[in-house]
Every structure is written in structure tokens, then in C-alpha cells.
Amino acid sequence: MRLLPPNGRALERIESGEAHFAIGAYGDLPDRFGLEQLDDNLFVVMMRADHPLASGRFDIRRYAEARHLLITPRGDPVGFVDKALAELGLSHRIGLTVN
């Protein structure tokens, strides 16, 4: 098994057989593609069990103050979380960016 960055080409890679599936937010897809919704939450936070944010009250301010991993398939320096935080007058610190 191999994981590939979509590079904006996830659907092309599925059609060519280079990939079997893609995980992401794709909006409306052509009928030839199947779609399985994995979750209906707008935001999900993943962290190790002993992470400081895993204990105590979890709120948006504590979240914003933590260092974050930015997953950006196209290499964008900001993501949708940055935009949502900006609407609240907040920002977060990116510790690592990966595609």
C-alpha cells in the first residue's frame, strides 16, 4: 500500500488506476465516482492521548495557542481552519506543513 499526495489530481489518479480512493473534501463529484461521507463534523482535532490539550477544558483559545500540523494537498500556506479562526479574531501557529 502507498499513500500519494493528491496534488490536485486525485480524481485523475483514480481514473488512471494509480489510486484506488481519495480522502478529502471534494464537493460535487461526477456520477462515475462513488462517495462515502466519513464524518459530518466541520472540524476534528487529532492529538496524542497525553497532549496538554487532551486534559482540562478544551476551547477555541487553547486550541489556537497550540502548535499545529497543516495538511495542505496543494501546498497552500493557509487552510480553512486559518480562515475560520480569522473570523473569530484568532490565528494558530503552524509547526509543520505537509501535503
Grid cell, residue 16, equals 488512471
Predicted local distance difference test score (pLDDT) of residue 2: 73
Q: What domains are defined for the chain?
A: 1-38 (no CATH), 40-99 (3.40.190.10)
Q: What is the pLDDT along the chain (99 residues), one digit of tens a residue?
A: 677 776 778 899 999 998 888 887 777 889 999 888 877 776 778 889 999 899 988 899 999 999 988 887 777 888 778 888 999 999 988 888 887
Nearest to 92 by CA among 52, 53, 58, 62: 62
Q: What does the alpha-carbon distance between residue 22 and residue 18 come to, in Å, rounded to a whole number? A: 11
Predicted local distance difference test score (pLDDT) of residue 22: 87
Predicted local distance difference test score (pLDDT) of residue 77: 82
pTM for the model: 0.56
Predicted local distance difference test score (pLDDT) of residue 72: 78
